[in-house]
Structure formats: structure tokens, C-alpha cells
Amino acid sequence: MNTEAAPNSPSPSSRPRNAFARKVAAGGAAILAVALLAGAYAAHADGRWVSTEDAYVEGNVVQVTPQVGGVVTAIRADNTDRVEPGAVLIELNGVDAQLALDAARANLARSVRQVRGQFAMAGQDGATVALRKVDLARAEEDVARRSALARIGAIPGEELVHAQQAVRTARAALAVASEQLKRNHALIDGTTVESHPDVQAAAVQLRNASGALARTKVVAPVGGVVTRRGVQVGQRVAAGAPLMSVVPLDQLWVTANLKESQLRNVRIGQPVRLTTDLYGDGVVYHGRVLGQDAGTGSAFSLLPAQNATGNWIKVVQRVPVRIALDPAEVAAQPLQLGLSMRVEVDTETRDGKRLVAAQGQPQVYTTAVYADELAQADAQVRAIIDANR
């Protein structure tokens, strides 16, 4: 019985050719993979790329501390809350501060009125001096007239003596009035009511009292996320005691601990690629080298190594390298303190400096939440002075 082969079945002669083609394709793919790996290895081997997984996200941990002591009456923010700069975080009992402010207001008003009285008294004393001068001139004219009459015997000598005594009395009264005028002018010369030392001292007292009351509200010096709250309502806290912390997540950097053998070609300004397990290899951050620390990690440890005694074993040291992150990338894919990072530094460009040169640096971190602390106090001072002029 004859059987016919299926029309689509491969002939025995074509099967070896297909198997050979598959082997060739697999071999080519393997060769390509090996070539890519070899190229990658060569790129790293020639020192262009320096990588490490001993790298972590770091940032500023801003402690929130009160400027004055007191009893906590309210807590306005808790851990994980995001706050803006100047937001009230904690309130302290402000009764004593309010009473001190009220007393300072009354003292300033009293000082303004007293100084205003000194100016008025100086004006009155000036008028008194002018009057005493008129009295003296009149008495001297009277003596001159009576002296002429006494020489011709028109009046008794006793009357001339009385006139001369009146001159001496008027002269003494003028001297007293002049001294009183000088004394009062010494208190106000070169000043106004507002610039008088007594008013200025009272104004400073009011500003201090107003500032003390304002400081019973503890504000966030920077914007960020609240963490490490350790204060409770009703707790008495001292000035400077740490109450909580605020972490500004827009002020982050990465510290990569590179081996000393990897630092030969690392320069400031070199580009860096970074990834983290939080987002996986699909999210790549781009940064740049900011600088290297002044020493290895072990040099600044609590108990530095002592190699002068005993057996010595060489241990490869690591130096912290600070890496800046792209703020836009961090805003799009937020990071947190302590996250581990994989760092790859491209050292192809090596014309930068290895260490930062000494130069005048501007303030890196600042806060403006206390800039207008006295604005409200100054407004109160102005209002009280104007009301009591």
C-alpha cells in the first residue's frame, strides 16, 4: 500500500538546514550579548564609570525649638504633616507675656506724656525768663531815676535803698528762672517726643514684651514634613528644647561612599546617574558631583581606628562624596531621607577640581519667617505715641 507524504511536511533534507539556522541565530545572539557585556565592562574598566550601591539620600533635619519657655497649650501639627514656612506648630501659655505687654503699653503712654510735659515746661520756663528780664529792666530804670532824685535831695535815701534791693531781687529771680530753663532744656535738647530717651526705652520694653508674646507661638522655620514629635499638651518646655523636626524634602542630596581606589578620576561637576529601589530602574535621577568630604568615614567615627599597635590588616577606606539632585526630578518623583541609591558617576570629563577651592560662599540655607517679628510691635509703638502726644 502506497502512502503519500503531506504537502506541508518538511523533507528530510531540509530539517538539518533549519536546525543549523536556529543554531546560527542563537550563536549570533549570544555573541552580541557577550559583545555588549564586554563593551559595558570595558567602559567601566577604563575608569570612565564609577559606581556604588553604598549611597543614601540625605537632607536637612531642622529642629523646632521654642525661643521662650512655657507650658504647651496646643499642638497644631503632627508627624507626616506637611507644613509651610511660618505655620504655627505649637502654642505656649501666653498669659504672663500678655500681662507684660499690657504693662509695657501703659509705661510707654506714661513716658510720652511725661516727655510732652517736659517740652511744655521748657516753654513755660522760657516765658518766665523773659518776664524776669522785664522785671529786672524795670527795677534798674527805677534805681536810675531815684538815684538822680536822691542826689538833689528830692527823695529820702531810704527810698533809693529799697529800689536798689528790688534790682538785686529781680536779678536773683532771673538767675533762678534761667537755671530752671537750662535744667529743663538739658532733658529735651536735640530730641523730639518720639526720639526722647525715656520714650525710646519704653518703646524697647514694649517691643521686648510684644516679641515675647509672639514667641509663645512656635512656628516652622522652613517648609517640609513634620517628624520626630516629642512634645505633649500640658508639658512645660524650656527655651531651646527640641520639640519636633521639619524635613524640607526639596533640600535633598545623595552621599555616595566611594572606595579610595575609585576616587582617582572623580571631579566636581561630573554628571551622575542614580536609581533607587523605591521606583526601580525605570526611574533615573540625574545629578552632579558637588564635592568630597574632608576625610574617610572611619576618620570621623566615634572611635577612630588605632593602627599603631597589634597586627595591621589593610582595609579599603571609603570617602563620602556629595551629589546634588535635579530639583525638578525630585519634585516629580519624591525621595525620603535614608533611601538607598545606586550611583554611577561619569568621569569622562576630568577638567574639574577634585576638592572645592576656598572661596566666599553665600548663605546656603536661610529662613525669613522671623524677619517681620517686630513689625507688629513697631505699629503698636507708633499708635501709642500718636495717641498720647
- Residue 101 pLDDT > 80: yes
pLDDT digits (tens, 9 = 90+) for 163-191: 788 888 888 888 888 888 778 777 778 88
Residue-wise pLDDT tens digits, 346-356: 999 888 888 77
- The reply to whether the predicted model has a pTM over 0.85 is no
For 217-245, the pLDDT digits (tens) are 999 999 999 999 999 999 999 999 999 99
CA distance linking residue 119 with residue 111, whole number of Å: 12
Give the mean model confidence (pLDDT) for residues 243-271.
94
**Strands 62-64, 244-247: pairing kind:** antiparallel
Q: How confident is the model at residue 313 (pLDDT cuts 50, 70, 90)?
A: confident
pLDDT digits 0-9 by tens, 1-31:
444 444 455 555 555 556 656 665 666 666 7
Residue 166, burial from CB neighbour count under 10 angstroms (0-12, 13-18, 19+): middle
More reliable by pLDDT, 144 or 63? 63
Percent of the chain with pLDDT over 90: 53
Q: What is the pLDDT of residue 360?
A: 54
Give SS3 for 332. helix
Residue-level pLDDT at 2: 46
Which pLDDT score, from 0 to 100, does residue 374 have? 87
pLDDT of residue 275: 97
Beta strands in the chain (DSSP E): 49-59, 62-64, 70-75, 82-83, 88-92, 217-219, 224-227, 236-237, 244-247, 252-259, 271-276, 280-292, 318-325, 340-346
116-165 pLDDT, tens digit each: 888 888 778 778 888 888 878 888 887 788 787 777 777 787 777 787 88
